[in-house]
Amino acid sequence: MASSDPNEDSAHEMPKFDYRATRRDFMLKLGLGINAVAGALVGIPIIGFFVSSVVQKQGRTWVSLGSIDQFPEQATRMAVFINPYRNQADGDTAHIPCWVKRAAGETFKVFAINCTHLGCPVRWFEQSKLFLCPCHGGAFYEDGSHAAGPPPRGLYVYEHKVEKGELMIKAGVLPTLADPS
């Protein structure tokens, strides 16, 4: 430090620095190389962690809605199942509702609760035989087809089967327009 006054900018008064001096240049390049490799080794797991829910996507799996006897014929009832990918910290959000319509015998139709417009929960009205969405007024008929309002399609339908008197649906994934069922 040439100057004794701390407020005077002395940083500019250093001798000219030659960035091409060979050994320093080599060290810098080596350092950059090491850091590039290390950066990749640090970064790849971070990115991998972040996108893991996309890359290792969990698909739908069979879930039981219980005995078919609880669903009267010619009626639509709410059924609640536990999300197959339940995490202990999920709490109540692991309980996923859906609408089950039993036409007759073993003929069922299971609809997702999510409106096809923007995902709000649709409610069943037994008297008018309509599903109504509270958010923007979407309406669906008893068979899930679009009746009125902004939804672009009918209700999402779960794949289902009846096994040993139990109604099973393929669930675990939030139905959206990109992945309806």
The residues of the shown chain that bind another protein, judged by CB under 8 A, are 6-7, 50-51, 53-54, 57-59, 78, 80, 83, 85-97, 113-114, 117-123, 125, 127-130, 132-137, 139, 141-142, 147-152, 172-174, 176-179
Q: Which of 60, 83, 79, 37 is nearest to 167 (CA)?
A: 79
- In the complex, what is the shortest distance from the CB of residue 61 to another protein, in angstroms, rounded to a whole number? 10
For the chain, count helices (H), then strands (E): 1, 11
- List strands edge to edge, sheet with 160-163: 61-67, 166-171, 160-163
Strand partners, 159: none
Q: Which of 33, 36, 100, 37 is nearest to 70 (CA)?
A: 100
Q: Nearer to another protein by C-beta: 4 or 22?
A: 4
Q: How far apart are CA 60 and CA 180, in angstroms?
A: 11
- In the complex, what is the shortest distance from the CB of residue 123 to another protein, in angstroms, rounded to a whole number? 5
CB 129 within 8 A of CB 123: no
Q: How far apart are CA 138 and CA 12, in angstroms?
A: 69
Q: Nearer to another protein by C-beta: 108 or 140?
A: 140
- Measured in degrees and rounded to the nearest 5, phi and psi for residue 53 equal -70, -15
Q: Nearer to another protein by C-beta: 30 or 59?
A: 59
Q: Nearer to another protein by C-beta: 86 or 109?
A: 86
- In the complex, what is the shortest distance from the CB of residue 71 to another protein, in angstroms, rounded to a whole number? 16
Q: Nearer to another protein by C-beta: 100 or 151?
A: 151
Q: Nearer to another protein by C-beta: 103 or 120?
A: 120
Token duo for residue 74: 């010619």
